[in-house]
Structure 1
Amino acid sequence: MGGRVGALAVLAALVLAGCSAGGSGGSVAVAPAEGRPDGAGRQAPGVAPEKAGPEKPNTGKAGTEQPNTEKAGPEQQGQAAGVVAANRHLVRTASVDLRASEVGAVLAKAKELALAEGGFPAQENTTRDRGTVTLRVPADRLDAVLTSLSGLPGVEVTRREVRTEDVTDQVVDVEARLANQRASVERVRGLLERAASTSEITQVEAELTKRQGELESLQRRHDSLKGQVALSTLTVAVGTRTAPVAPEEENFLTALRGGWDAVVDAGAWSLVVIGGALPFVVVLGTPLVGYLAWRRRRKSAVTL
């Protein structure tokens, strides 16, 4: 009887722990401001209440002065935008297509630039006349690497694309769920320490294993998002640049060569036509020749 009661108590505690873990993700406890207990708005004894005067227009000078973004210059607006961007979690990716006479040399230089900026080459695929390398570089050095690639001697930029994705909401959500899941795991561990019977220990250990697995999954998701924010992905594709062919000067010899080439081409096409028609001539001509020969012999016999 006592074992059943204990098992029921453990199950009830697990249910309550799960409900508190699931429900705490949607609420945030706000602590009262320090130095302002309940009733802070009351007048202290012996202090006369301040007389309420006529309401004054808000000049914007009381308290912390708010910047006027409408009248701010381009420099101030740029600084404000930089502050806002610094508080966001942004995933930046870029791709650039280049043309050069030496594909291998440009790919090697791209990898050197990534290493110099604190990044590394993640993947490379090279053929005889084309190559692609995927680089991971710090997000704040992506523009510098792109600029350096565009300035390489003998390199032509044919396409450049930069994409930015805001994952701030995802990061905040995963961090909140991580905090709740850690607290849930700790509560289940506390129940495991207080478990008295074998059945209680088994049930609590199974629940602890489940919640630890969910915690590890959330941690991997969090680490993946942080890695994408910290390191940008840059794909560099390099193709071979074909040298322009200089136009040949027209003279008597070039004209003669062009005419001879035309004669050769015409002869070749004539042979192709004859070769294609020859089977039909053989198939259709043989019966016709036999018929004509038969008629000639018949006319000769009638004449005699």
Structure 2
Amino acid sequence: MSRRVLAVTALALVALAGCSSTGSMSSSGGAEVAAPAVPPAQPGGVAKDSAGTAQQPDSVATNRQLVRTAQVDLRGDDVSGALVKVKDLTTREGGYVGQENSSASMGSLTLRVPADRMDAVLKGLGEVEGTTVVRRETKSEDVTEQVVDVESRLSTQRASVDRVRALLERAGTTSEITQIEGELTKRQTDLESMQRRYDALKGQVAQSTITVSVRQGPAPAAEEEKLGFLGALGSGWNALLEALRVVVVVIGAVLPFAVVLLPVGVLWYLRRRRRTVKITPEASAN
């Protein structure tokens, strides 16, 4: 009997510890999964302060974990040919095409390339024969803190699962086994969910994403900047033409109303003038 009480008490203590661990894990469930942290520095790399005390180097500060993405827009006459060249470039650099959409006049590719080859791929995209780069944008997201946080939580959750497994081995009755197995299943599910989030972000850090769009047609010509007196004269002349155009548009809009209202106004003026003339002699006679 005392053995059963001891087992149930131990299970309760483990369940209490698991609740606190699970609550901590849930509070950061919305955070994206991080990539693996950098292994600690070797003893040979230990730094010392001014007093000669050994200090561990800040590996988190010196080895940032970055999720890099890019968007590249190309223009060219042969859309399908340009897409083939982009795919060949991606394959040569060790990447692959994650998604492709294309038509006769436009197409897009989502490329996944090794993070250390992203710059080489971007350079190659600028040199694709028969195309011109009209826009290029790159972004980097620092997920170093997420790396440290998720790895710490994974370690804690694995230790929690191991403790419950040890209790299961010592369980002596069917009811104890059932209770402990239920708790073990819950903790293993939480651990697997966290591991999936971890693996997802690890893939984002290791593989950069580049979205490439190709449109048919020449690149838009860059407008040359006009300076000095001639440039100001040209701008003024253009402004004058624009003002005249607005005046002509206004006249065109008012003209139909003028055609209708002008005769009516003339008739009203003549009738008023005639009444005034009649009234004037009568007033003189009186």
- TM-score category by the smaller chain? 0.5 to 0.7
Residue 226 of structure 1 pairs with residue 188 of structure 2: no
Residue 90 of structure 1 pairs with residue 97 of structure 2: no
Q: Are the counterparts in 2 of residues 97 and 159 from structure 1 also a CA contact under 8 Å? A: yes
The residue aligned with 1:190 is: 166
Deviations along 1:110-148, whole A, 9 cap, x unmatched?
111111111100000001100001000011111111111
Q: Distance in 2 between matches of 1:156 and 1:192?
A: 66
SS state at 2:166 partner: helix
The residue aligned with 2:86 is: 110
* Aligned alpha-carbon RMSD (Å): 3.0
> Given the superposition, is the C-alpha separation of residues 93 and 210 from structure 1 closer, same or farther in structure 2, using an over 3 Å criterion?
same
Q: Are the counterparts in 2 of residues 24 and 180 from structure 1 also a CA contact under 8 Å? A: no
> Given the superposition, is the C-alpha separation of residues 243 and 168 from structure 1 closer, same or farther in structure 2, using an over 3 Å criterion?
closer
TM-score normalized by structure 1?
A: 0.57
Q: Are the counterparts in 2 of residues 99 and 155 from structure 1 also a CA contact under 8 Å? A: yes
Residue 123 of structure 1 pairs with residue 99 of structure 2: yes
Structure 1 gaps of 5+ residues are: 26-59, 65-82, 245-304
Identity %, equivalent residues: 61
Structure 1 residue 152 displacement after superposition = 1.9
Structure 1 residue 23 displacement after superposition = 9.8
The residue aligned with 2:29 is: none
Q: Are the counterparts in 1 of residues 75 and 219 from structure 2 also a CA contact under 8 Å? A: no
Q: Distance in 2 between matches of 1:212 and 1:16?
A: 16
The 5-angstrom pairing of residues 40-51 of structure 1 reads none
> Given the superposition, is the C-alpha separation of residues 223 and 243 from structure 1 closer, same or farther in structure 2, using an over 3 Å criterion?
closer
The 5-angstrom pairing of residues 171-250 of structure 1 reads 171-242=147-218
SS state at 1:185 partner: helix
SS state at 1:128 partner: coil
Q: Distance in 2 between matches of 1:199 and 1:10?
A: 14
Structure 1 residue 86 displacement after superposition = 6.0
Q: Distance in 1 between matches of 2:219 and 2:10?
A: 80
Tell me which of 110, 117, 122 is aligned to 1:146.
Answer: 122
SS state at 1:110 partner: helix
> Given the superposition, is the C-alpha separation of residues 199 and 62 from structure 1 closer, same or farther in structure 2, using an over 3 Å criterion?
closer
The residue aligned with 1:163 is: 139
The residue aligned with 1:133 is: 109
The residue aligned with 1:8 is: 8
Q: Are the counterparts in 1 of residues 100 and 108 from structure 2 also a CA contact under 8 Å? A: yes
Q: Are the counterparts in 2 of residues 3 and 197 from structure 1 also a CA contact under 8 Å? A: no
Structure 2 gaps of 5+ residues are: 26-48, 54-58, 221-286
> Given the superposition, is the C-alpha separation of residues 24 and 106 from structure 1 closer, same or farther in structure 2, using an over 3 Å criterion?
closer
Matched positions, count: 193
The residue aligned with 2:18 is: 18
> Given the superposition, is the C-alpha separation of residues 166 and 148 from structure 1 closer, same or farther in structure 2, using an over 3 Å criterion?
same
SS state at 1:8 partner: helix
> Given the superposition, is the C-alpha separation of residues 20 and 183 from structure 1 closer, same or farther in structure 2, using an over 3 Å criterion?
farther
The residue aligned with 2:276 is: none
Structure 1 residue runs of 4+, over 3 Å off?
Answer: 1-4, 19-25, 60-64, 83-86
* 1:18 partner amino acid: G
